[in-house]
Amino acid sequence: MKYIILMIISLLASPLYAQKITVDESKSVISFNFIDDDVEGNFEDFVFSGNIDLGDLHNSTLSGSVVTKTIDTHNWLRSRHLRSRKYFNARDFPK
């Protein structure tokens, strides 16, 4: 019973309005890992935004994009190959 009361108090204490999500891109990273090929990498440039509506989650939004030419796998040949038309086609699809 006391857990239910604690949950109700927690919910009432939290704001029930939309909150904008902010991301400090200088301190954030989008990384990936292909386990089968033992390849790790990241995207140097990206944009992210979001709005969370705790009162109605259906009204919440998250949006993001990466600049495809900034892919870095720590191997310039592989990174260049991933930017090619076969994979990301960074020339025609910059984001």
Beginning with the edge strand found earlier in the chain, give each strand of the sheet holding 18-21 in spatial order. Answer: 18-21, 46-53, 61-66
pLDDT at residue number 4: 61
Residue 20's pLDDT is 78
Per-residue pLDDT of the chain (95 residues; tens, 9 = 90+): 555 666 665 555 555 566 777 777 778 888 888 887 788 998 988 888 888 887 777 888 888 888 999 999 999 999 999 899 998 888 998 88
Report the amino acid identity of residue 59. N
What's the pLDDT at 73? 92
Residue 38 region by backbone torsions, left for phi larger than 0, else alpha for psi between -120 and 50, else beta: left
pTM over 0.75: no
Answer positive or negative: Cα dihedral of 51, 56, 59, 61.
positive
